[in-house]
Amino acid sequence: MSRRTAWLLVRLGVSGALAGWLLLRVGVGAVAREMADVGVANVLAILALQFLNTGLKSYKWQRLLGADGIHVGHSTAFASYMVSTFFSMFLPSSIGGDAVRAIDLGRRSGRGVATATSVVADRVLGFAAIGLVGLLALAAGSATALAPRLRWTGAGLYAAVLIASAALFEGWPLRLFEGLGVARWPRVERAAASIAASLRAYRGSGRLGELLLLSVAAQVVVVVAVYVPLSYFFVIVPLVGLVESIPVSIYGIGLRDVSYVYLLGLVGAPRAQALSLSILYVLLTLLYALFGAVVFALRGSGSAAERLRAG
């Protein structure tokens, strides 16, 4: 058994074990009854919000690419995002599709390292938005139901995410590699030089403030898509977004469910309601991802998938 296959089985095991354990504790029947109460109008509204979210994120990515001299149409960036959404359902964590995006657009742009850097930078902006939305929600008193210790822990985590995001855009990891002497290897040195040039282009473009605002808007759309009336969600949805990004499960399944059940339980939400919310969001995301599968088939992006499997 290859190391890749073993790691895939581990991730499947983590997702299956956590999700199965929760279903046994909460009860399949109780979760099914909660999900049956969701109307068609709500389902259509969530799907519409997911399209809006992808539109915002792909426009942000297009602007980021343009800052580095890689000019693509919004339709191209949007299609690439849709394809990555489909593959994210089968790859590690909720951000596994980023590799597909990097390969898909990299072969179109002819600047593989610069395109991959834009994907990472795009993701970092998303994390920065998570930190910012979380801190603003805490400052607005959206989590007063939580114990002060938990509120301070959340604030520290969100602040750390913001600081780490700023450090990445300033190129601190590259300086660390240089200090360790890793960048002296020819291929690594060329890649590091390309990454550094892209980061300078982003900082010099004057677009980072605009791009962060777009990331915040996309994050707010995610919060609204999960649940509208409870301001507490502006605290926990960003936090769940961080947890589900840990690459130890498939598309964050299991990690996301445990997070929602625990965090909503702190404010008295029934376990069945919390778990049904998490499962429903995943099911609707899977349905939404099928649109990405259609885009993938129509665009003839097979080489991206082949390279990812070979990688």
Give me the residue label for tokens 């520290």: 156
Confidence at 3, pLDDT banded by 50, 70, 90: confident
Q: What is the pLDDT of residue 144?
A: 76
Give the tens place of pLDDT for each residue, 58-90.
Answer: 999 999 999 999 999 999 999 999 998 888 876
Q: Which two tokens stand for residue 205?
A: 């473009």
In this predicted structure, the answer to whether residue 96 has a pLDDT above a threshold of 80 is no
- SS3 label, residue 2: coil
Is residue 237 a contact partner of residue 222, using CB atoms and an 8 Å limit?
Answer: yes
| Higher pLDDT pick, 293 / 306 | 293
Q: What is the pLDDT of residue 178?
A: 67
- Would you give the end-to-end CA distance of the chain in angstroms? 17
Q: What is the pLDDT of residue 56?
A: 94
Confidence at 230, pLDDT banded by 50, 70, 90: low
Q: Which two tokens stand for residue 114?
A: 């610069």
Q: What is the pLDDT of residue 121?
A: 94
Q: What is the pLDDT of residue 183?
A: 57
Give the tens place of pLDDT for each residue, 140-176.
Answer: 877 777 778 878 888 898 999 999 999 999 888 777 7
In this predicted structure, the answer to whether residue 191 has a pLDDT above a threshold of 50 is yes
Average pLDDT for 280-300 = 84
Q: What is the pLDDT of residue 302?
A: 46
Give the tens place of pLDDT for each residue, 101-119.
Answer: 898 898 888 888 999 999 9
- Give whichever of 43-47, 140-144, 213-217, 251-255 has the largest mean pLDDT: 213-217
Q: What is the pLDDT of residue 231?
A: 62
Looking at residue 90, the DSSP 8-state letter turns out to be T
The pTM of this model reads: 0.79
In this predicted structure, the answer to whether residue 135 has a pLDDT above a threshold of 80 is yes
Contact residues for 44 (Cβ-Cβ < 8 A; gap 6+)? none
Give me the residue label for tokens 């445990």: 258
Confidence at 27, pLDDT banded by 50, 70, 90: confident
